[in-house]
């Protein structure tokens, strides 16, 4: 599985795909975090009354890595289908 983007949705998707025994690569052009990197405080995120965006991103990335997610910097230049998707 290749996931494009390492924002909160990409990090969560990577966690679920690796837990489903899929070899997973997350490709991100800037680095993990997306909007979380510029968010000082997140309120009411499940499990936290308040958490810093950078802290939440790092926890999500670490959890993904524990399950085997591979992270690489880069951009997708083209996406094609073999017709089996």
Q: What count of Cα atoms within 13 Å lies in the side-chain half-sphere of residue 25? A: 7
The tokens describing 23, both together, are 């070899």
Is 85's pLDDT higher than 70?
Answer: no
Total residues belonging to the chain: 85
3-state secondary structure 12-71: HHHHHHHHCCCCCEEEECCCCCHHHHHCCCEECCCCCCEECHHHHHHHHHHHHHHHCCEE
Predicted confidence (pLDDT) per residue in 33-78, tens digit: 777 777 778 887 788 888 888 888 899 999 999 999 999 999 999 9
pTM of the model: 0.81
Give the integer Cα–Cα distance in Å for 3 and 16. 11
């Amino acid at each position: 599985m290749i996931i494009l983007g390492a924002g909160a949705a990409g990090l969560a998707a990577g966690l679920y795909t690796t837990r489903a025994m899929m070899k997973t690569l997350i490709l991100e052009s800037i680095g993990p975090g997306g909007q979380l990197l510029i968010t000082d405080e997140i309120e009411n995120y499940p499990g936290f009354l308040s958490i810093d965006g950078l802290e939440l991103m790092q926890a999500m990335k670490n959890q993904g890595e524990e399950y085997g997610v591979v992270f690489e910097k880069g951009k997708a230049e083209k996406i094609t289908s073999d017709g089996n998707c």
